[in-house]
Chain A
């Protein structure tokens, strides 16, 4: 019996040594195999600060920076990507606040080329009249975006708020468990396994693809999250009305297939809310359909909007702001 325990102990120690070896190997050679999933994991570990709020489980660390997917992301004292901003607003300058997720943040896009920055440059071409603030955070959904707006955006007294809606913004709020705050947050091996398992499951199951995943978000199995999402969007609309803030909802299409767009269910969802509540709405699909989808991606494995797509976003929003006479 004692001998059996000894054998078991030896096996466990042996497995532990093997796992440690894998972890060390992955850390040393990270640069040679890093990819989208792994860079997203590193971004989450290094730049996202866990919070105790139910509706806002994490936020960016203030005054932090890192290089992810080859691009520098630097946060200011508010935890937003960009240079420092003053809490007090200069009366001669109008503020435009972007709220959204990684597309708004500008994942994989140099700071000078992200939509909010390009728009700011266009608006201030002849004279500095506008300050554009980007509150986008990776993996935020609409509920979290609205919570962050209430927490940090409102006090900045924006004149215009632009909600950048993406198809996965109706996902449930991600849970940051204790496990995630220790093992997942620190193990390269975990991130590596997650990446591999996700890819193998895609190869093994043809139904496990982006189209099915996103479509499912708009059906009964996600009904609770959909209800919460709608309530949050209504809350944002009401706050903006009360505070006399011009709200614009912008729909960012999923960038895999633009000609015969397969996720109209998502566009209809957000457009219906905008129409019902009389909010200005822009569907960026109308301005992207003529482009080859791949030409708008960060990379072949990452369909986030690249600099070219961000420029189109900014240009479209600029033209609409002029058309609606929201800028002068």
Chain B
């Protein structure tokens, strides 16, 4: 959390707002990567591919 505060401070002070979308997308990606990883959930024999 402290890291995120520091990061926000850096972006605000140096006006590097273009970094925000990159950070948000990477954060979401990281959360998705962790969620459900290692769990054995495969409800159907594939329905899309």
Contact = CB atoms under 8 A, between A and B. Distances in A.
A14 B25 CA distance: 9
Contacts of A18: 21-22, 24-26, 29
Nearest to B24: A18
B1 interface: no
Size range of the interface on A? 35 or more
Contacts of A36: 42, 46
Interface residues of B, number: 25
A41 B24 CA distance: 27
A324 to B, nearest CB: 29
B21 A139 contact: no
A213 B21 contact: no
A43 B49 contact: yes
A299 B42 CA distance: 10
Contacts of A168: 44-45, 47
Contact of A303 (B36, B39, B45): B45
Interface in B5-49: 18-22, 24-26, 29, 32-33, 35-37, 39-49
Given A15-B25, A40-B49, A303-B45, A193 B18 contact: no
Interface stretch (A203-211, A239-247, A269-277, A306-314): A203-211
Contact of B45 (A35, A102, A198, A202): A102
Contacts of B49: 37, 40-41, 43-44, 138-139
Contacts of A321: none
A33 interface: yes
Most buried by A among B39, B40, B49: B49
A211 B26 CA distance: 35
Given A22-B26, A171-B47, A196-B36, A301 B21 contact: no
Contact of A203 (B22, B36, B40, B46): B36
A78 interface: no
Given A10-B18, A14-B18, A22-B26, A300 B37 contact: no
B43 A17 contact: no
Contacts of B33: 33
Nearest to B41: A199
Of A11, A14, A192, A214, most buried by chain B (CB within 10 Å of CB) is A14
Given A18-B22, A202-B43, A301-B42, 17 more contacts: A14-B18, A17-B22, A18-B25, A18-B29, A35-B42, A37-B46, A40-B46, A41-B49, A139-B49, A171-B47, A199-B35, A199-B36, A199-B41, A210-B43, A213-B44, A301-B40, A304-B45
Interface of A: 10-11, 13-15, 17-19, 21-22, 25, 33, 35-37, 40-41, 43-44, 102, 138-139, 166, 168, 171, 174, 192-194, 196, 198-200, 202-203, 208-210, 213-214, 299-304
Q: Which 9 pairs between the two chains have the least Cβ-Cβ distance?
A: A18-B25, A44-B49, A14-B21, A301-B40, A300-B40, A199-B36, A18-B22, A301-B42, A210-B43
